[in-house]
Amino acid sequence: MALPAQNLHEGRVLPNGAFEYLSRIASSLPSIQSFSKLAFGGAQVLLGSETQVPLGRSSGYSCPHPQLSCHNTSVVENTCCFNYPGGQMLQTQFWDTHPVTGPVDSWTVHGLWPDKCDGTYEANCDSSRAYGNISAILTSFNKTELVSYMRTYWKDYKGNDDDLWKHEWSKHGTCVSTLETKCFTDYTATEEVVDYFEKTIELFKKLPSYEWLASFDIVPSYTRTYDRRAIQEALSTHHGAPVTLGCRYGALQEIWYHYAVRGSLQSGMFVPELPDGMKSTCPQTGIRYLPKSHDRPGRPTGTTTTTGALPTGTGGAFEGRGILNVEMASGGEKGCIISKGTWYTGGRCATFKAEKKSRGDGSRNDDDDNERGFTLSSRRGKCGIAHSALVCGPGVSATRFTNKGGLLAVEGNTTFYAEEVPRHSVQEKVFTDERDQELGIRWKGV
The answer regarding whether domain 18-197+257-276 maps to CATH 3.40.50.10320 reads no
- Classify 409 as helix, strand or coil: strand
What CATH number is given for 320-445 in this structure? 2.80.10
Strand 352-356, strand 374-378: pairing: antiparallel
pLDDT tens profile 288-302: 999 998 554 443 333
Relative orientation angle of helices 161-171 and 191-205, to the nearest 10 degrees: 110
Cα-based torsion angle of the residue sequence 363, 365, 371, 372 in order, rounded to the nearest 10 degrees: -50
Residue of 65, 71, 167, 172 marked catalytic: 172
Strand 389-392, strand 381-386: pairing: antiparallel
Residue of 65, 71, 110, 238 marked catalytic: 110
Q: Where are the domains of the chain?
A: 18-197+257-276, 320-445
Give the burial string for 425-442 (b: 16+ CB within 10 Å, else e): eebbbbbbeebebbbbbb
For residue 347, what pLDDT is reported?
Answer: 79
SS3 content of the chain, % helix, strand, coil (to 5): 20, 25, 55
Model confidence at 366: pLDDT above 50 = no
DSSP label of 369: G
CA distances from 1 to 73, 122, 146, 261, 310 (A): 16, 18, 36, 20, 49
Q: Is 168 a catalytic residue?
A: yes
pLDDT tens profile 110-137: 999 999 999 899 999 999 999 999 999 9
Rounded to an integer, what distance in angstroms lies between the CA atom of residue 387 and that of residue 433?
Answer: 10
Q: Is 110 a catalytic residue?
A: yes
- Contact (Cβ atoms closer than 8 angstroms) between residue 92 and residue 254: yes
Computed over its alpha carbons, how large is the radius of gyration of the chain?
23
Q: Which pTM does this prediction carry?
A: 0.60
Q: Predicted confidence band at 49 (pLDDT cuts at 50, 70, 90)?
A: very low
pLDDT tens profile 378-395: 999 999 998 889 999 999
Relative orientation angle of helices 191-205 and 144-153, to the nearest 10 degrees: 50
Residue of 167, 168, 191, 428 marked catalytic: 168
Q: Is 172 a catalytic residue?
A: yes
Model confidence at 174: pLDDT above 70 = yes
Mean pLDDT of the chain: 81
Q: Compute the half-sphere exposure of residue 267: CA atoms within 13 Å on the CB side of its CA.
A: 19
Give the burial string for 283-295 (b: 16+ CB within 10 Å, else e): beebbbbbebeee
Q: Predicted confidence band at 371 (pLDDT cuts at 50, 70, 90)?
A: low
